[in-house]
Amino acid sequence: MDEKNYQLMTHFVPKSYVDQAQQVHNSNKNKIRNLLEKRKIPDKGWSSELIELLLSEFSSMDSNNFDDSCGLGEREGRIFSNLVLTRNYNFSHGIGRSGDLAEVQPKAIGSSVLNKLTNELLLDLLKISGLTNVSSCIVCPMATGMSLAFCMMSIRQDKHNAKYVIMPRIDQKSCIKSIACAGYEAIIIEPLKVGDELVTNLDEIEKKISELGSESIACILSTTSCFAPRGPDKVEEIASLCLRNNIFHLINNAYGLQSTKLTHIINQAMRTGRVDVVVQSTDKNLMVPVGGAILAVCEKKILKKITEFYPGRASFSQSLDVLITMLSMGSDQYRSLLKERKECFAYLKSEIQKLAEKYNEKVLETPNNPISIAFTLSEFGSDPKKLTEIGSMLFTRLVSGVRVVVPGDNKIVVANGPLYKNFGSHSNSTDKAYFTAAAAIGIKQSDIDLFLKRLIDCSNLHRVLDKLMHEKIRMNEY
Amino acid sequence: MDEKNYQLMTHFVPKSYVDQAQQVHNSNKNKIRNLLEKRKIPDKGWSSELIELLLSEFSSMDSNNFDDSCGLGEREGRIFSNLVLTRNYNFSHGIGRSGDLAEVQPKAIGSSVLNKLTNELLLDLLKISGLTNVSSCIVCPMATGMSLAFCMMSIRQDKHNAKYVIMPRIDQKSCIKSIACAGYEAIIIEPLKVGDELVTNLDEIEKKISELGSESIACILSTTSCFAPRGPDKVEEIASLCLRNNIFHLINNAYGLQSTKLTHIINQAMRTGRVDVVVQSTDKNLMVPVGGAILAVCEKKILKKITEFYPGRASFSQSLDVLITMLSMGSDQYRSLLKERKECFAYLKSEIQKLAEKYNEKVLETPNNPISIAFTLSEFGSDPKKLTEIGSMLFTRLVSGVRVVVPGDNKIVVANGPLYKNFGSHSNSTDKAYFTAAAAIGIKQSDIDLFLKRLIDCSNLHRVLDKLMHEKIRMNEY
Amino acid sequence: MDEKNYQLMTHFVPKSYVDQAQQVHNSNKNKIRNLLEKRKIPDKGWSSELIELLLSEFSSMDSNNFDDSCGLGEREGRIFSNLVLTRNYNFSHGIGRSGDLAEVQPKAIGSSVLNKLTNELLLDLLKISGLTNVSSCIVCPMATGMSLAFCMMSIRQDKHNAKYVIMPRIDQKSCIKSIACAGYEAIIIEPLKVGDELVTNLDEIEKKISELGSESIACILSTTSCFAPRGPDKVEEIASLCLRNNIFHLINNAYGLQSTKLTHIINQAMRTGRVDVVVQSTDKNLMVPVGGAILAVCEKKILKKITEFYPGRASFSQSLDVLITMLSMGSDQYRSLLKERKECFAYLKSEIQKLAEKYNEKVLETPNNPISIAFTLSEFGSDPKKLTEIGSMLFTRLVSGVRVVVPGDNKIVVANGPLYKNFGSHSNSTDKAYFTAAAAIGIKQSDIDLFLKRLIDCSNLHRVLDKLMHEKIRMNEY
Amino acid sequence: MDEKNYQLMTHFVPKSYVDQAQQVHNSNKNKIRNLLEKRKIPDKGWSSELIELLLSEFSSMDSNNFDDSCGLGEREGRIFSNLVLTRNYNFSHGIGRSGDLAEVQPKAIGSSVLNKLTNELLLDLLKISGLTNVSSCIVCPMATGMSLAFCMMSIRQDKHNAKYVIMPRIDQKSCIKSIACAGYEAIIIEPLKVGDELVTNLDEIEKKISELGSESIACILSTTSCFAPRGPDKVEEIASLCLRNNIFHLINNAYGLQSTKLTHIINQAMRTGRVDVVVQSTDKNLMVPVGGAILAVCEKKILKKITEFYPGRASFSQSLDVLITMLSMGSDQYRSLLKERKECFAYLKSEIQKLAEKYNEKVLETPNNPISIAFTLSEFGSDPKKLTEIGSMLFTRLVSGVRVVVPGDNKIVVANGPLYKNFGSHSNSTDKAYFTAAAAIGIKQSDIDLFLKRLIDCSNLHRVLDKLMHEKIRMNEY
């Protein structure tokens, strides 16, 4: 709708009405203009209609939506199914070009612009989240594990002979596998135990660096967000180490964007030491479907080197979900969600503390972990079967995300890789079972209340069953 | 709607009517049952409604859609935006698990089943396409280039010391970059010229194998679908070489699924030699948005090794697009599309042949390339600027996909990689400019007619401009 | 997207790309402009995206979609459910105002304009269909029967004492009931029989007029489209009668818009006699869901009188369906559909003729009915039960729309109204059973082939069953 | 998904997972079953997915969605546009049949059942709202005005000679016009003034009845919800009058369903006197788009008589919006909305009272009007132009729904109808200007705050402008 069209509308309705319509409509147009101009997340979330209008305007600029075109290439963005076309908002060309994940596609101007816009809005979001030292970022259309692997692969461009990746121990398969996938050998650094919390053993890292030689080390892969009782790695100190030893520093901040505590230490590390890339999950931080990661850097040229290394095109789907979400959320609501999460974590911690006292258990003291807590299961004995049963009981009661960790589960994760003792607990010395629970973005207090209620049900049930079984066994003895 | 619900409907309408409704409804239910039972693409495409019903039934089995659940994990599949939720049909958990791309997610039974179903239907599609020797396949949620890289990375599990990938020259950046990304050095094999066609130099490959030693070679990466005048690689002979030398054979069949000629030679290669993985693009062959690839193998254990190597979860988006497309297309229409493409290619070739004769040009003789043709531009002189202008002229006339190739464009694609002489032409010895055009799946005869019409316009325009310019120059000489 | 926004896009992509995007985008903008300027159905149907863009632009002008508004009235267009909002494209205010169905709503400029635009496009469609003498029309948000009633009610404004409506007999309940609903007594005119066809008895109409006095007659309600063997009424002659006697002439052209034969005679009647309003169904002619009618007039003031008579607001839903359909269809495809229907009718008639000959039946000669045919069921005896069973047999074989008419079904349709002898056959003198079948817009030749096949199945089955029953009866006689 | 399909799923995933999926899925199935069985609004609103599943299941029972059918009728429910089909959830046959608005369509079992279900759920909603004496109701697919007219027309079936409708004065055009549309003469009863409130003059009604004779009176049309300072009619006393005099009693309860005060007096009237039909708007009470009304009766046979009187089919659109809304709302949230509205009304009244005191104005005392308030504009002088300007000023500030009433606006609403003195104020004796504001369902406290803020802005602005103008005038005097 432009000036001329408004004029034409006076054929149907009085000019004064048209004027008001135009005035309101301009407010929509201005929102779009502001977005393109400022490239910041709007304060107030947009309506679904305005978002769809934006997407529709831009998809109409992609060649697959041209009316009168003819395609003689091997890839013309033709879409067979209307359902597929609709759900992709008529975008079909993906992002990137054979040369570069960030390059513009002449056939797909609309999606190219939206993709770049998404990355700029995302930069705004990272800054709101506390990563003020980040200068550039992209949505990488692969989930965190594969994105970490890809970053590590890209290091090979400069450091052909690197063989190792040093990683303070984190017992998540995808982290361990990402190193193997990238073609490196993982050097795992056992954590120290401070109180109940597992913390980075910096001395051991330094020792390994001098042992292996920095030339042979592709990077240090540190981790911030993690399950208690592991704490976030001391990224600031690691960053100093990396700076001094000229080692690439890759931070796995999987779901850490949602905690200012974690973004703060990363931000500090960026200021005082060396942080090359920080990787975080789009789904875990932005409440979109699984499939993407955010790569954030302080120096633009590092990101350029990575995106140029990407072989070929990639899906636009992740960027689209992220873009829609940022626009519909607005920065105000993003801030509220961060706040709510923090409050929920405090609530979870205090309520479960009460429960611990009641049941003779303990909430492990992990003052640096702002998302996850660990709750001992001392009273449940040491039979692994019975312990993991608690997890199942919660699962069938529709409590998801609670993990029961039982010491003694030793595992080799990748062929020819190291053995992880007490896998899942991040430490060789774990000797007690516990479960973890987390307060992640989007959680409501009602989730926690429901969880606590069901947990009590389970505990009681378990105790009763247990008692019965003991009695039965005793009875059988006779 | 089950028996009981139908009975309840008789409260509202006479039983005889309900009976007919139930009878028809059963036909829908039977379609779903058949799909789950036979795991073949239905002959006749499904209606959008039935597809959406299926998706809705399955997404309701994923925990993020449970009514009464509470999530205490770090990843609970929460979706912020309704638009995002809708466009993802309420699926949010992605596919795979930290351990394996093909693993079932307990939190997401619906998407796990649909993902596996997609892969089984896709197997049916591969067989219809001519790859009858394939025993297993998956949608890999990364486009062809990255999927090729990922396959090559996975080879490292068994062959730690491999350094090289042998590739008969193909001038597409993403192929070349996929090798570098996977951490190997590319050994490029210049093609032979047979007639106008560029064909695989088998002797040279053999020579390189014995030179480097098969232990140091990660794989041979052969290519089938490509731009004329390159022909498809002699995959059958390469497969024999690989079998004899115990070398992994990876075939880049990017858009070759749509040509029975190409699937036939791959199928033969599978029967008589060694073919480990065949990779093809989902978007180019199945008319879905860019973002996925199909990995197909003869031996299931090879695919298992690859999917288990994947670090973490991945997007469900590509599988969803592929599933919807297969169901809405049906095998009958897929066969029609293949047939129509073949006829369009014949039509394109014969019509452009006429044009060539008229304009003193030549359609290069490339009898083995069933998708792309090359048309010389001898009459247009040798000025690269003027030659590439033809491409621009077509582009602004909304003809996409036509590539003008001008000899003399030498390029280094990856840092520290080899120099490609005459980049784009697949050969050091190219000496004439030409353009390529392709007839890919989904093309209509009307596309070709439009293209020819616009091509003539351009040629004429160009000649006129040219003449004017010459005159102008001459005039300026005075 | 305006000039300024395009300029802003150059932040992301090169200007030359933006220029092309803008050029293409302008073509979309021009389509919208042309629509507003010319108010004609576009030749070529619009894409779904462009239609949704138009709807979105206009709905954003309605106050319920204003961002910053507050509503203190009793009707503020608030929509509770997102599903409802989406399916109504964010329109909520309906059409009309307490004063007038055609009036502009200040709160809803977008829907007001679209409503008026719909009516202007519809005028174009009526002209394409052959009603070139129509000067104005509207979508009336009530189906044909209620719309006819409403037109008749509105006559009372000028003719307070009218008591009767003269209607050449048409055995459709909704026609008969519309007269009663409007508060008049129906004067039914038995048809004459010419060949097999039932035609208007003009003499009888004239007789009734002079008998009752034109002052007491609200209108003559004539019918064009109808089931064979009734033919269309002689609307031209009736129009002359109306002109001479100063009687309102209302034509029920329910599904006659799709036949140029029928629109031609109406158009002639308009030229030479008096036709006040022609009413036609939106669903039957335009392939939209049931719920609306088109009121068409030669004199704008008549329509104005009717719309001003409407008490209150009404649903926008029907207009929206009609608008979307006209835009997505385009005039080219509308013409094709009309042509295809005509050909299908000829095909149906000729094929069923062959069947009639084979089975000793007859296709009744009704040369003036261009849509429906009647096929005798002489061979099936005269037992009503057995005859109507044929209908059921076809129904359970998923043939819909075929009606078996059996003489002897006498019915009173409205309380205190007349008795209709042989109801369904339009005539007191019908003495043979028959079924009717029609070729209506949207029908495909494949529908007819399927129908013929199933009809033969039924006939055969019936004969066999019949024979068996006779034998059984005979056997029982012993 | 039935038992068999779940069994088939074990091909893909372990049985224990399938079992949980089935268990959850059953909870969905049970919700549908409960709905069909109990025919009550669920307590908790359904998810969009479940609602769409229900609609999809039912639309698949309508013949237009049968796969293998052929249609030989004149109305086959064919839909041209996919957008139209989607937005109508694949329903196309409308509701009702030529004989009856409530009748089942054999071609459309799904929509027939849903339509009946909608009406039964609606009965539940009416009871929740306080109309416990209602025994039956339907969604009438015409807005309130036309629905009132239709009810009045239907009275003619039994009372052929009725000429008048008695209506206590209500200055809404659509009420007045509905009487004319139905073919009656309106007998307007001026209200009495009690305090500031305008109340029903029962004596005058009785006088009119004896004057005209009850045989000549079609009905008394009373009104409950209305703009202050009019109060709701004394429906209980009118109902007694109607019972004694054997007169049809039609209540226009346009937006009164949302106030228990109003439903209470209607419910009492039903218990103690005669109430035939109560009509209320779907959009105003249920937050759906304009287009439908709810007809509610105590005696089923009255509703039957009305629906049987309807000539032909009608749109399903209104029922669909109502059904979706009731399911997504749930009775809990409906109750909350009623409660919130009531609180907002109290808040509005008390806040505006404060404003009145501040500005030397008065909120008229209308203790019986639970929705609308009137605020005097004494300080703004008596110039109609300047007074209505206040309305415009609010309108341009995006305050909608506030009406400025200025005495002296005399109007004839329908041709040959009576003159309404002070139209808009419901009374011949109105002598002061005022504006009205209402708190209707869906209003938020924030709406009221925004309104008050803007109202103050306007008042100030107006005063300033006024002052300036006076000064200017004075200056000009020199």
Minimum-distance CB partner of A289 among B225, B316, B372? B316
Contact D98 C255 (CB under 8 A): no
Distance from CA of A34 to the nearest CA of D (A): 22
DSSP state of D264: H
Does A19 touch chain C if contact means CB atoms closer than 8 Å?
no
pLDDT of B477 reads 46
Does B92 touch chain D if contact means CB atoms closer than 8 Å?
no
Nearest to B280 by CA among B412, B419, B122: B122
- Specify the range with the lowest mean pLDDT, choosing from B3-7, B448-452, C71-75, D237-241: B3-7
pLDDT of D471 reads 61
pLDDT of B464 reads 66
Query: What's the rounded mean pLDDT across residues C440-469?
Result: 85
pLDDT band, very low/low/confident/very high, at A434 (cuts 50, 70, 90):
very high
> Which chain C residue lies closest to D412 (C-alpha atoms)?
C99
For residues B251 and B277, the answer to whether their CB atoms sit within 8 Å is yes
Out of B385-394, C262-271, C451-460, D453-462, give the one with best mean pLDDT.
C262-271
DSSP per residue, B412-457: E-STT--EETTTTTT-TT--S-EEEEE--TT--HHHHHHHHHHHHH
Exposed e or buried b for every residue in D131-166, given b needs 16+ CB within 10 A? bebbbbbbbbbbbbbbbbbbbbbbbbbebeebebbb
Give the separation between CA C184 and CA C218, rounded to whole angstroms.
Answer: 8
Work out the mean pLDDT of chain B and round it to a whole number: 93
- Specify the range with the lowest mean pLDDT, choosing from A16-20, B35-39, C375-379: A16-20
pTM of the model: 0.91
- Specify the range with the lowest mean pLDDT, choosing from A107-111, A392-396, B190-194: A392-396
Does D200 touch chain C if contact means CB atoms closer than 8 Å?
no
Contact B312 A146 (CB under 8 A): yes
Interface of A with C in 93-152 (CB under 8 A): 104, 106, 109-110, 112-113, 116-117
| Triad A400, A401, A407: Cα angle to 5° | 125
Does C396 touch chain B if contact means CB atoms closer than 8 Å?
yes
pLDDT band, very low/low/confident/very high, at B474 (cuts 50, 70, 90):
low
- Specify the range with the lowest mean pLDDT, choosing from B270-284, C134-148, C451-465: C451-465
Work out the mean pLDDT of chain C and round it to a whole number: 93
Query: What's the rounded mean pLDDT across residues A309-325?
Result: 96
Contact B451 A157 (CB under 8 A): no
What percent of chain D has pLDDT above 70? Answer: 96
Give C37's contacts in chain A (Cβ within 8 Å).
8
pLDDT of D465 reads 62
How many beta carbons lie within 10 A of that of residue D195, not counting itself? 13
pLDDT of A472 reads 55
Contact D396 A82 (CB under 8 A): no
Q: Two tokens at A454?
A: 């069901």
Does C336 touch chain B if contact means CB atoms closer than 8 Å?
no
DSSP per residue, A405-429: E-TT--EE-STT--EETTTTTT-TT
Q: Two tokens at A19?
A: 């004027």
DSSP per residue, C416-444: T--EETTTTTT-TT--S-EEEEE--TT--
- Specify the range with the lowest mean pLDDT, choosing from A242-256, B334-348, D395-409: D395-409
How many separate helices (H) and strands (E) can be counted in chain A? 15, 16
Contact C442 D173 (CB under 8 A): no
Give the separation between CA C78 and CA C57, rounded to whole angstroms.
Answer: 19
Nearest to D446 by CA among D335, D329, D338, D344: D344
Of residues D408 and A249, more confidence is placed in A249
pLDDT of B23 reads 80
Give the separation between CA C434 and CA C122, rounded to whole angstroms.
Answer: 37
Give the separation between CA D423 and CA D32, rounded to whole angstroms.
Answer: 50
Does D325 touch chain C if contact means CB atoms closer than 8 Å?
yes
Contact B36 D65 (CB under 8 A): no
Report whether pLDDT(C474) > 60: no
Contact A20 D82 (CB under 8 A): no
| Triad B220, B224, B227: Cα angle to 5° | 120
Distance from CA of C424 to the nearest CA of D (A): 13
Query: What's the rounded mean pLDDT across residues D150-160?
Result: 95
Report whether pLDDT(D477) > 60: no
User: Which of B81, B101, B167, B252 would best serve as a mutation to test chain A binding (most A beta carbons within 10 A)?
Assistant: B81
Contact C20 B396 (CB under 8 A): yes
Read off the pLDDT of residues D217-254 as tens digits, 9 standing for 90 and up.
999 999 999 999 999 999 999 999 999 999 999 999 99
Report whether pLDDT(A465) > 70: no
pLDDT band, very low/low/confident/very high, at A470 (cuts 50, 70, 90):
low
Read off the pLDDT of residues A86-132 as tens digits, 9 standing for 90 and up.
999 999 999 988 668 888 888 899 999 999 999 999 999 999 999 99
Of residues B118 and B14, more confidence is placed in B118
Nearest to D111 by CA among C147, B21, B8: B21
ipTM of the complex: 0.89
pLDDT of C471 reads 61
Does A18 touch chain C if contact means CB atoms closer than 8 Å?
yes
Report whether pLDDT(C468) > 80: no
Interface of B with A in 263-302 (CB under 8 A): 281, 283-284, 286-292
Give the separation between CA A315 and CA C144, rounded to whole angstroms.
Answer: 50
pLDDT of B192 reads 98
Give A392's contacts in chain D (Cβ within 8 Å).
none
> Which chain A residue lies closest to C90 (C-alpha atoms)?
A49
pLDDT of C392 reads 84
Question: What 3-state DSSP class applies to A104?
Answer: coil
> Which chain C residue lies closest to D258 (C-alpha atoms)?
C74
Work out the mean pLDDT of chain A and round it to a whole number: 93
**What length is written for chain C?**
478
Give D82's contacts in chain A (Cβ within 8 Å).
82
> Which chain B residue lies closest to D104 (C-alpha atoms)?
B13
